[in-house]
Amino acid sequence: DTGVSQDPRHKITKRGQNVTFRCDPISEHNRLYWYRQTLGQGPEFLTYFQNEAQLEKSRLLSDRFSAERPKGSFSTLEIQRTEQGDSAMYLCASSPGQGAGEQFFGPGTRLTVL
């Protein structure tokens, strides 16, 4: 399977704990995106990498959120001091450097903060 993969698929944590999610993009894609999706809504953009450089961050990405993409391959999204409002599906997508900009999505990580 050469699609986008995410780990874990589900995470349940207690309020105040830190969590980290991983995304492995399609291997030849140099652009990687993180989105958050809450129930009944469309995905909302969080942040974007081109290779290892983080080029854009949404205002949704508070100081408790940090993302990295070392060596321009996989990416991690960390949430510190989780809050109940962080409960959502976290989606990762990747795209090649050319073309219409279509993005290919992973299955997502569902976070539940108790």
Partner 1 sequence: GNSVTQMEGPVTLSEEAFLTINCTYTATGYPSLFWYVQYPGEGLQLLLKATKADDKGSNKGFEATYRKETTSFHLEKGSVQVSDSAVYFCALRGPSGSARQLTFGSGTQLTVLP
> Which residues here bind partner 1, judged by CB under 8 A?
4, 31, 33, 35, 40-45, 48, 55-56, 58, 91, 93, 100-108
Of 41 and 62, which has the nearer Cβ to partner 1?
41
| Parallel/antiparallel/unpaired status of strands 10-13 and 109-113 | parallel
CB of 50 to partner 1, least distance (A): 8
Give 74 or 104: the residue with its C-beta nearer to partner 1: 104
Provide, rounded to whole angstroms, the least separation between the CB of residue 100 and partner 1.
Answer: 5
Contacts of residues 54-57 at CB distance under 8 Å and 24 or more positions apart, as own/partner, are none
- Please state the separation of Cα 88 from the chain's center in Å: 11
Dist CA 13 CA 74 (whole Å): 23
| Smallest distance from partner 1 to CB 84, Å | 22
Q: Which residues pair with 68 in a beta bridge?
A: 76
In the complex, least distance from residue 49 CB atom to partner 1, rounded to whole angstroms? 10
Rank residues 45 and 80 by Cβ distance to partner 1 and give the closer one: 45
Half-sphere exposure of 91 (CA within 13 A, CB side): 16
Residue with Cβ nearer partner 1 (85 or 101)? 101
CB distance 65 to 57 below 8 Å: no
